Amino acid sequence: MLVLGIETSCDDTGVALYDGARGVLLSHALYSQTALHAPYGGVVPELASRDHIRRVLPLTDGILKESGCVLGDIEAIGYTAGPGLAGALLVGASVAHGLGYALGVPALGIHHLEGHLLAPLMVAPAPQFPFIALLVSGGHTQLMRVAGVGDYQLLGETLDDAAGEAFDKTAQLLGLGYPGGPAIAALADKGVPGHFELPRPMLHSGNLDLSFSGLKTAVALQIRAHTLDERMQANIAAEFQAAIVDVLIAKSLAALKLTGLRQLVVAGGVGANSALRAGLTRAALALHAEVFYPAPEFCTDNGAMIAHAAALRFRDPSLAATTRSGFAIKPRWPLSEANLRP
């Protein structure tokens, strides 16, 4: 089954063609709106929606040509139904259902986070169910137990800022550009962690919940107390990144120990952070555990993960039946409520 995937939940327009029968990604394309939103220090929803309208159909034409396919070859469509920005989600839903109606093929709404946490299954070697998933992005930081496609148990989540959000806000405090994650990671390479002492929030809370708002506040206090020169910027960035990494590693290992599982999947934009990857891989070895990462190009939002998740659901009629198949979006849509098996 040839599945077209459409991702328009926030500020990236992603489309992809996935061959579900062979388990092969035929083609994908992504347009990032980073330059569009950079002057504002964050995503402007109305601008994001309008840009999705301009990009989604030309990108779809491009991947069809690249793969040697035509519109009539598409047998199903998966699109992000939520969570995300309402206007941006409506663009993807409208295009998906319009094409689905014209082609006479089903259009299924896919949960954005499900796309992320299943993305590592596209790369060999792939993890086997069940496994622990660490979802770390600009809008979400969660630990999930994944028993199968559509079978997710929330173990812990951030009580305030997500890890990616903390990166963005701290980057603004340091006078860096948007998005904050890559900017802080690059600056951290020039600094020394430990030069400034920053907290590791909820490191010893006894549960799997997280919190990063206080860490951002601690950075603000350090900036107020010192002259912000290049060396200080780099040292704060290094200590801030180390604090985030320390907490994520500790909570991930605690989730593995709690469940007795030995496979950890890392997904979401922050999952591309090289310090987090290196630290998690080292720490997992001590537990005789294995960590799986999506390819860097599939860490951020993309159409491939949506096409892949839709293809997996089409393989199981009961899963396809529970997916949002009507013309609907859900900007607020907890994964634990929406994508459980019946």
Asked if the 2-118+298-338 domain carries CATH number 1.10.150.20, the reply is: no
Residue pLDDT, tens place only, 206-259: 999 999 999 999 999 999 998 889 999 999 999 999 999 999 999 999 999 999
Between strands 263-267 and 12-19, the pairing is: unpaired
CA distances from 229 to 148, 174, 181, 226, 235 (A): 49, 10, 20, 9, 10
Q: Do domains 2-118+298-338 and 128-293 have the same CATH topology?
A: yes
Residue pLDDT, tens place only, 297-331: 899 999 999 999 999 999 887 776 655 567 889 99
Pairwise CA distance, residues 142 & 155, whole Å: 8
Indicate the residue type of 221.
L
Closest CA to 27 of 58, 55, 54, 60: 60
Summary mean pLDDT of the chain? 93
Domain ranges (residues) in the chain: 2-118+298-338, 128-293
Pairwise CA distance, residues 92 & 307, whole Å: 13
* CA 30 to chain CA mean position, Å: 14
Reading the block at residue 201, the tokens are: 């929030």
Residue pLDDT, tens place only, 159-207: 999 999 999 999 999 999 888 999 999 999 999 999 889 999 999 999 9
Residue pLDDT, tens place only, 115-165: 998 999 998 899 999 999 999 987 889 999 999 999 999 999 999 999 999
pTM: 0.93
> What CATH architecture applies to the domain 128-293?
2-Layer Sandwich (3.30)
CA distances from 56 to 16, 63, 234, 247, 297 (A): 11, 11, 38, 37, 18
- What is the average pLDDT across 267-288? 94
Q: Are 332 and 9 in contact (CB under 8 A)?
A: no
